[in-house]
């Protein structure tokens, strides 16, 4: 039985709590895995490229399904698709937690992201159809606040769960924790959530979705795997093919538009030059930030040897800065200064990268959590100033009737940018780490020689030990699988000095590793700074008068199942 909605649903706040839990779970899983990367790597003996896929698989699948997921809700009912997504997300989380090798975990992360892409688009639609106009802004503000906190909670909670090693499950708890939450949310949604459909829903575009995903995978796959395989010719052929498939996608979408059908991407949005350039800047921004989150975690744990808990709790300072930046930009600055807030935010973010990189090299293995407070708060503040107002400012550059399509495109751009950022920075970070491994060796060699001399080791033996040490550090920096001990790192049976020298070399190896990671971290952050400067140039394309608009989100008439 269907009827128009005439009164507010008395169960709307309970239903709202359910969608909040779902949205929180999704955003939590974007960040929570980052802090567990070294633990996953060690336990599953994963190569660096597989770690990149474990992170990127989720956001790629999410981006691929996001727009189609929203249309499925319009056609078949938001509640039905939400429940399907919630059930699938919970099952995929269980598969992630039970994975026995990296490939299984990657497949489970793809499934988890796809189910998130079904679930999340229904949330704002459910808020719109459940709440009366006077309550809707409050509900959306609460949802945005909870979403913003999920990143911080994900980093801290991930570190705590991995460190706690509940029931001996280690990193697996970061995924298994979704199971009770997902079951509770599914049951609650079944009973308290009303269903709704769109009376004029756009058609699905499965061909467009396949073409778009194929273009992205043809680009990301060789970037993630090329270094490990020695960049064979087919990796460059795949990247070239990605451009061809993308062109085919654009032609196909244009043909759908001319035929009066529903393309996956409304190419008419790009008639607005400010929106088109702004979208490109938004994509670039997430390329820079997606790469940062990966190397940041590796630096703290693989480079400095921190525990997951310490890394996760230190990361909270970034979230504090992001919260301050977001609150100030949306609440005070964006409505008054418009695009200048985005430009200043990107510059502050870049300045934070520069400070962080310089301090990493300055302090090396002695870099303490409290010393990271300044660069993390600065970086986070700039990040928050960009992220919080950008979508609203860019939506102001398109007609109101196209705001839904534009919003979906911006969200998709965020996910694709994150995935591309992980792949691109993976190439850069590990290549530099390999090529500059002599830096750490050169820095610790004088101390090694001094201690060997103090122990009475002959100069000829010192030369042998130092040469073997340098070969070991270089091999570790170059290897694709960090869990494998290179042959050059195996202790020789005739090592002068015995156990004492072994301990000396182990300590020196940790110090050299920290020096190399710090230098590579700085180099990668400078790359991120370059991207953020390009982002600033893109934001200049927005009109000077562009301001943050508090536009009502009035949905079209809905068919609501009571």
* H-run or E-run covering 560: strand 559-561
This prediction has a pTM of 0.85
The fold adopted by the segment(s) 1-202 is Growth Hormone; Chain: A; (1.20.1250)
CA atoms within 13 A on the CB side of 273: 3
HEC readout, 461-511: HHHHHHHHHHHHHHHHHHCCCCCCCCHHHCCCCCCCCCHHHHHHHHHHHHH
HEC readout, 53-106: HHHHHHHHHHHHHHHHHHHHHHHHCHHHHHHHHHHHHHHHHHHHHCCCCHHHHH
Question: Are 552 and 392 a contacting pair, CB within 8 Å?
Answer: no
Which pairing describes strands 195-197 and 2-3: parallel, antiparallel, or unpaired?
A: unpaired
Find where tokens 């796959």 sit.
221
Cα–Cα distance for residue pair 509/470, rounded to 1 Å: 9
Give the helix, strand, coil percentages of the chain, each rounded to 5: 80, 0, 20
Question: Are 62 and 14 a contacting pair, CB within 8 Å?
Answer: no
The burial class, CB within 10 Å (0-12 / 13-18 / 19+), for 397 is buried
pLDDT of residue 148: 60
Cβ neighbors of 478 (< 8 A, separation 6 or more) are 434, 437
Cβ neighbors of 222 (< 8 A, separation 6 or more) are 234, 235, 236, 238, 239
Q: Which residues of 156-192 are buried (b: 16+ CB within 10 A; e: fewer)?
A: bbbbbbbbeeeeebbbbbbbbbbeebbeebbebbeeb
pLDDT tens for the chain, 562 residues: list them: 344 444 666 777 888 888 888 878 887 787 788 888 888 988 998 888 888 899 889 989 988 888 888 888 888 888 899 999 999 999 999 999 999 999 999 999 999 999 998 988 888 777 777 777 777 667 766 776 666 666 667 777 888 888 888 888 889 999 998 999 899 989 988 888 877 777 766 788 889 889 988 998 999 889 888 888 888 999 999 999 999 999 999 999 999 888 888 888 888 888 888 888 889 999 999 999 988 988 998 899 888 989 888 988 898 898 888 888 888 877 777 777 778 889 999 999 999 999 999 999 999 889 999 999 999 999 999 998 888 788 778 877 777 667 667 778 888 888 889 889 988 988 888 888 888 778 888 888 888 888 888 777 788 777 888 888 888 888 777 776 666 777 777 766 565 556 677 788 888 888 888 889 999 999 999 999 999 999 999 888 777 766 555 444 444 434 444 3
Cα–Cα distance for residue pair 430/437, rounded to 1 Å: 11
């Amino acid at each position: 039985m269907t009827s128009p909605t005439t009164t507010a649903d008395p169960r709307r706040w309970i239903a709202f709590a359910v969608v909040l839990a779902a949205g929180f779970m999704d955003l939590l899983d974007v960040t929570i895995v980052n802090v567990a990367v070294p633990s996953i790597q060690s336990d599953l003996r994963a190569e660096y490229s597989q770690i990149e896929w474990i992170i990127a698989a989720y956001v790629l699948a999410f981006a691929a399904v996001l727009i189609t997921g929203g249309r499925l809700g319009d056609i078949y009912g938001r509640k039905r698709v939400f429940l399907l997504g919630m059930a699938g997300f919970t099952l995929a989380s269980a598969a992630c937690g039970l994975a026995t090798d990296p490939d299984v975990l990657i497949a489970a992360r793809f499934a988890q992201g796809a189910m998130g892409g079904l679930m999340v688009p229904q949330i704002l639609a459910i808020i719109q159809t459940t709440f009366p106009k006077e309550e809707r802004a409050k509900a959306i503000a609460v949802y945005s606040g909870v979403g913003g906190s999920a990143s911080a909670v994900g980093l801290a909670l991930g570190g705590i769960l991995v460190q706690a090693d509940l029931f001996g499950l280690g990193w697996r708890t970061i995924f298994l924790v979704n199971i009770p939450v997902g079951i509770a949310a599914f049951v609650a949604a079944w009973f308290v959530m009303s269903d709704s459909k769109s009376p004029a829903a756009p058609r699905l575009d499965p061909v467009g979705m396949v073409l778009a995903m194929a273009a992205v995978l043809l680009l990301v796959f060789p970037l993630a795997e090329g270094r490990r395989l020695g960049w064979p010719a087919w990796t460059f052929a795949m990247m070239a093919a990605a451009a061809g498939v993308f062109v085919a996608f654009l032609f196909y979408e244009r043909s759908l538009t001319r035929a009066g059908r529903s393309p996956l991407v409304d190419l008419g949005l790009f008639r607005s030059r400010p929106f088109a350039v702004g979208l490109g800047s938004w994509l670039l921004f997430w390329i820079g930030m997606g790469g940062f989150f990966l190397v940041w975690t590796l630096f703290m744990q693989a480079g400095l040897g921190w525990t997951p808990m310490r890394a996760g709790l230190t990361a909270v300072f970034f979230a504090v800065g992001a919260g301050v930046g977001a609150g100030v930009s949306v609440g005070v600055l964006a409505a008054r200064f418009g695009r200048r807030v985005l430009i200043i935010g990107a510059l502050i973010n870049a300045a934070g990268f520069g400070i962080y990189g310089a301090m990493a090299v300055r302090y090396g293995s002695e870099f303490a959590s409290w010393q990271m407070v300044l660069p993390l708060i600065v970086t986070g503040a700039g990040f928050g100033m960009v992220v919080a107002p950008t979508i609203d400012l860019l939506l102001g550059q398109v007609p109101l009737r196209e705001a839904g399509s534009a919003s979906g495109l911006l969200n998709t751009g965020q996910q694709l940018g994150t995935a591309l950022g992980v792949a691109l920075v993976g190439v850069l970070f590990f290549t530099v780490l390999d090529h500059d491994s002599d830096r750490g060796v050169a820095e610790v060699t004088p101390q090694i020689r001094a201690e060997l001399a103090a122990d009475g080791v002959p100069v000829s033996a010192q030369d042998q030990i130092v040469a073997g040490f340098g070969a070991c550090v270089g091999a570790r920096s170059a290897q694709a699988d960090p869990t494998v001990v290179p042959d050059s790192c195996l202790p020789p049976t005739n090592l002068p000095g015995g156990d004492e020298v072994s301990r000396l070399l182990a300590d020196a190896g940790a110090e050299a590793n920290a020096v190399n990671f710090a230098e590579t971290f700085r180099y990668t952050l400078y790359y991120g700074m370059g991207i953020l400067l390009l982002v600033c140039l893109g934001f200049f394309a927005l009109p000077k008068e562009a301001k943050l608009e508090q536009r009502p989100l009035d949905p079209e008439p809905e068919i609501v199942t009571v």
